[in-house]
Chains A and B, each alone.
Chain A
Amino acid sequence: MRRETAEAARPTDRLPTWRAPGPRQRQRMRLARALFRQVWLWLLVIPAAAVFLTPWAWMITTAGKEASEIWHMPPIWIPHVYHWDNFLKAWNVGGFAVNYRNTLTICITNVAGTVFACALAAFAFARLRFPGRDVFFIVVLSTMMLPGQVTMIPLYVIFSKMGWVNTLKPLIVPAFFGDAFHIFLLRQFFLTISTELDDAARIDGCSRFGVFLRILLPLVKPALAVVTIGVFTWAWNDFMGPLIYINSTDLFTITLGLNRFVGRTTMDLQFLMAMTAVSTLLPIVAFFTTQRYMIQGIVITGIKG
Chain B
Amino acid sequence: MADLPARTLPGRRHISERAQELVTAYLCLLPWVLGFLGFTLGPMLYSFGLSFFESDMLTKTYFVGLGNYRDLLYDELFLQSLKVTAIYAFSAVPLGNVVAILVALLLNQKIIGLGVWRTIYYLPSVISGVAVAVLWLQIFNPRMGLINSTLRLVGIEGPAWLFSEQWALPSIIIMSLWGAGGSMLLFLAGLQGIPTQLYEAAMIDGASSLTRFLAITIPMLTPTIFFNLVIGLIGGFQFFSESYIMTAGGPNNATLSMVLYLFRKAFLQMRFGYASAVAWILFFIVVTFTIILVRSSDRWVYYEGEMRR
Residue of B nearest to A295 (CB): B189
- 76-124 of chain B: CB within 8 A of chain A: 103, 106-107, 109, 111, 115, 117, 119-124
A272 to B262, CA, bound (A): 29
Q: Does A236 contact B (CB under 8 A)?
A: yes
Query: Interface residues of B, CB < 8 Å — how many?
Result: 95
Contact B279 A41 (CB under 8 A): no
Q: Does A177 contact B (CB under 8 A)?
A: yes
Q: Does B155 contact A (CB under 8 A)?
A: no
Chain B positions near chain A (C-beta within 8 angstroms) = 1-2, 4, 9-10, 20-22, 24-29, 31-32, 34-36, 38-40, 42-44, 46-48, 50, 57, 103, 106-107, 109, 111, 115, 117, 119-124, 126-131, 133-139, 144, 146, 149-150, 152-153, 178, 185-186, 189-190, 193, 223-224, 227, 234, 237-238, 240-241, 244-246, 259, 262, 266-267, 272, 275-276, 279-280, 282-283, 286-287, 290, 303-304
Contact A174 B21 (CB under 8 A): no
- 140-188 of chain A: CB within 8 A of chain B: 140, 143, 145-158, 160, 174, 176-178, 183
Contact B131 A279 (CB under 8 A): yes
Q: Does A84 contact B (CB under 8 A)?
A: no
With A71-B144, A156-B267 known, 20 other A-B pairs at CB within 8 A are A48-B106, A121-B31, A143-B40, A147-B238, A177-B35, A178-B31, A199-B2, A203-B4, A238-B128, A239-B129, A240-B240, A258-B131, A259-B130, A262-B134, A262-B245, A269-B138, A288-B119, A303-B227, A304-B227, A305-B224
Contact A174 B290 (CB under 8 A): no
A243 to B266, CA, bound (A): 13
Contact A130 B32 (CB under 8 A): no
Can you spell out 17 A-B residue pairs with CB atoms less than 8 angstroms apart?
Answer: A42-B111, A49-B120, A55-B139, A116-B31, A150-B48, A152-B279, A153-B279, A155-B43, A157-B57, A158-B46, A160-B57, A177-B38, A205-B10, A239-B241, A258-B134, A262-B246, A295-B189
A121 to B24, CA, bound (A): 10
Chain A residues with Cβ below 8 Å from B21 are 128-130, 208
Contact A283 B1 (CB under 8 A): no
Q: Does A244 contact B (CB under 8 A)?
A: yes
Chain A residues with Cβ below 8 Å from B280 are 150
Contact A127 B1 (CB under 8 A): yes
Contact B109 A157 (CB under 8 A): no
Contact of B28 among A128, A238, A239 (CB under 8 A): A128
- Rank and list the top 10 A-B pairs by shortest CB-CB distance, nearest first: A177-B35, A237-B128, A154-B43, A124-B28, A154-B46, A151-B43, A128-B25, A117-B31, A75-B149, A280-B127
